[in-house]
Amino acid sequence: MSEEQKQQVTAVVKWYKADKGFGFVRFADGSGEAFLHSRVLASLGEVSLTEGTGLVCDIAETPKGPQVVAIHSITPADPAEAKPARAPKQRRQRQPEGGDPQAVRPAAPAAIREPKPRRERSAPALMPVPTGEMIYGTVRWYNLDSQSGLIDPWDDETGIGVYFDRAILRQSGLEVVADGEDVRFVAVPGDGGPTALRVELV
């Protein structure tokens, strides 16, 4: 995106949270994304934005990245097609070789198997985030004693949370954050789960 405002850009809604009042749109040509705030929708009256909603809008470059500054038209998203129900598989019965097909074969003695070593399950990591791409979330908790906390990303349903500590806050120019506070951050996956590299207040 250039420094000048771009007009009549075709985009689709990536996600939008009405309770938070903002979301993101993805450019139709695949060149990037832009931030969308609810104040841009005020002049349009009662509108509902869902994933896949088409937009024709104006985009402006700001210190915080590309943002939608005006919307000219809205095209509702196509309804999702229902997946056909899968028929349950029928279990095939093996007939004994020769003789009466109704005869029941004696069960073979169960083989003694050595127990397999228990495999430690590692927590699923957050989707890898390219350097500089900010993710929005809410502080689940921050403990002043341990000087660490967790962030719940808005677009993540695993419930794992993203870890951060006071050192990360200080590197981001913050001293403390409150429970329930909205933030945006950059995170990377790790052995114990995703970890924030930078945290900013929204």
Q: How do residues 88-108 score in pLDDT, each as one tens digit?
A: 656 655 555 555 555 555 555
Question: Residue 191 contacts by C-beta under 8 Å, 6 or more apart in sequence?
Answer: 122
Distance CA 182, CA 199 (A): 10
Distance CA 191, CA 40 (A): 41
Nearest by Cα to 39 from 67, 6, 5: 67
Question: Residue 45 contacts by C-beta under 8 Å, 6 or more apart in sequence?
Answer: none
Domain 135-201 sits in which CATH superfamily?
Nucleic acid-binding proteins (2.40.50.140)
Question: Residue 198 contacts by C-beta under 8 Å, 6 or more apart in sequence?
Answer: 168, 171, 172, 185, 186
Q: Give me the pLDDT at residue 114, please.
A: 62
What is the residue type of 11?
Answer: A
For the question of whether the overall pTM of this predicted structure is more than 0.75, the answer is no
Would you say the CATH fold of 135-201 matches that of 6-75? yes
Q: Kindly list the distances between the CA atom of residue 167 and the CA atoms of 75, 164, 172, 175, 181, in Å, as whole numbers in the listed order.
A: 45, 8, 9, 9, 18
CA 65 to chain centre: 20
Of the candidate CATH numbers 2.60.40.10, 2.70.210.12, 2.40.50.140, 3.30.420.40, the domain formed by 6-75 belongs to: 2.40.50.140
Q: Give me the pLDDT at residue 146, please.
A: 85
Nearest by Cα to 131 from 188, 64, 70: 188
Planar angle of CA 144, 21, 47, nearest 5 degrees: 160
- Asked if residue 86 has pLDDT above 70, the reply is no
Q: Give me the pLDDT at residue 119, please.
A: 52
Find out whether 45 and 59 touch, Cβ atoms under 8 Å.
no
- Report domain extents, the chain: 6-75, 135-201
Confidence of residue 116 (pLDDT cuts 50, 70, 90): low
